[in-house]
């Protein structure tokens, strides 16, 4: 037989647990909790931005932002007695920053883009969900402004922005080899592209002092255009630039090859370039 007194005591305990499970707190307390969660979300955004900024360019402003964000995170975690989470967060940030600083230019640039995209998507998402457009719009604007600053900063960095390879007239370009003496590229023309010609005389620019500079050509004479096979079979283009530019010194270069297409019924050619960026170490 269960005593009524025992039932009353147990029912009180059960009621406490039930109310806690229902999170039935007065609206003000609930809002406080929501605000805390929102603050955490905002801190997260600062944090993402700081890591992104640190990952793309060592600069005092993002470093200070990162330090502040981490400091605030620390206070939040100490208050919530979640020191372990905070420690993991700090280690993660430091690891990411170290990895970014040790990585090459392309990786660092990719990381920057990734974090930038994440931060913007996060801000837009929260802006829509939280229905608080003004503060988030301000943050968004700040991010866009800072992204402009970051891009401007990247122009002056040691590593030039990666442009990748273009494909004029749908031409497939595959870089097989590039070194200080020349390069080997396989070109495959698409069906219906018309008559295409590649200029064997590649033009090289050197990235120096934050700018692309044309290299002085020892042999400015034009070489004949090479017709690309009409049956669509791959054509291997060997470019040796020792006669025109000599052996290249260490640095970042971009080589551009002129591709021309004969315009049917006309006597002129359409011209386009594909470029390849590379580093001589």
Partner 1 sequence: VLMFLQVLQEQMGPKLEKIYTLYRAALVRVALGLVKQPADAEDAVHRVFERMIRNSPRLEEPESLRTRAYLVVAVEHAALDILRERSGRAEVPLEEDWAGLEAEYSGENILADCILKLPVRQREVILLRYHQGYTQRETANLLEVSPGTVQDAEGRAKANLRRMLAERGVEV
Looking at beta carbons only, is 12 or 231 nearer to partner 1?
12
Residue count of the chain, please give it: 281
Distance CA 55, CA 96 (A): 7
We find the least distance from the C-beta atom of residue 130 to partner 1, in angstroms, to be: 15
We find the least distance from the C-beta atom of residue 21 to partner 1, in angstroms, to be: 4
Looking at beta carbons only, is 28 or 281 nearer to partner 1?
28
Looking at beta carbons only, is 17 or 191 nearer to partner 1?
17
By the 10 Å C-beta count (0-12 exposed, 13-18 middle, 19+ buried), 100 is classed as buried
Looking at beta carbons only, is 31 or 88 nearer to partner 1?
31
* Three-class DSSP category at 112: helix
We find the least distance from the C-beta atom of residue 5 to partner 1, in angstroms, to be: 10
| Cβ neighbours of 185 (radius 10 Å) | 22
Footprint on this chain of partner 1 (rule: CB under 8 A): 1-2, 4, 6-28, 30
Looking at beta carbons only, is 11 or 91 nearer to partner 1?
11
Compute, in degrees rounded to 10, the torsion defined by CA atoms 133, 134, 136, 137: 90
We find the least distance from the C-beta atom of residue 79 to partner 1, in angstroms, to be: 22
Contact present, 153 and 59 (Cβ < 8 Å): yes
Looking at beta carbons only, is 81 or 281 nearer to partner 1?
81
By the 10 Å C-beta count (0-12 exposed, 13-18 middle, 19+ buried), 58 is classed as middle
We find the least distance from the C-beta atom of residue 23 to partner 1, in angstroms, to be: 6
We find the least distance from the C-beta atom of residue 9 to partner 1, in angstroms, to be: 7
Strand order in the sheet with 172-178: 172-178, 182-188, 235-240
Containing 8, the helix (H) or strand (E) segment is: helix 4-22
């Amino acid at each position: 037989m269960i005593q009524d007194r025992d039932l009353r005591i147990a029912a009180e305990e059960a009621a406490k647990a039930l109310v806690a499970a229902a999170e039935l707190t007065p609206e003000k307390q609930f809002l406080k909790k929501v605000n805390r969660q929102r603050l955490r979300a905002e801190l997260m955004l600062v944090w993402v931005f700081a890591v992104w900024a640190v990952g793309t360019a060592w600069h005092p402003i993002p470093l200070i932002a990162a330090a502040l964000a981490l400091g605030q995170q620390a206070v939040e975690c100490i208050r919530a007695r979640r020191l372990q989470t905070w420690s993991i967060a700090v280690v993660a940030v430091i690891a990411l920053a170290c990895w970014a600083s040790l990585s090459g230019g392309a990786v660092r640039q990719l990381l920057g883009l990734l974090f930038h995209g994440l931060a913007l998507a996060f801000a837009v998402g929260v802006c829509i969900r939280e229905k608080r457009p003004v503060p988030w719009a301000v943050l968004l604007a700040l991010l866009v402004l800072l992204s402009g600053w970051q891009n401007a900063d990247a122009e002056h960095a040691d590593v030039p922005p990666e442009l990748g390879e273009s494909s004029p007239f749908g031409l497939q370009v595959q870089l097989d080899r590039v070194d200080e003496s020349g390069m080997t590229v396989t070109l495959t023309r698409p069906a219906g592209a018309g008559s295409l010609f590649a200029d064997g005389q590649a033009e090289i620019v050197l990235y120096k002092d934050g700018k692309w500079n044309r290299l002085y050509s020892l042999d400015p004479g034009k070489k004949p255009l090479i017709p690309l096979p009409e049956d669509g079979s791959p054509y291997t283009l060997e470019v040796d630039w020792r006669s025109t530019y000599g052996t290249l010194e260490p640095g970042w270069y971009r080589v551009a090859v002129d591709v021309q297409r004969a315009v049917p019924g006309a006597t002129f050619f359409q011209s386009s370039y594909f470029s390849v960026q590379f580093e001589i170490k």
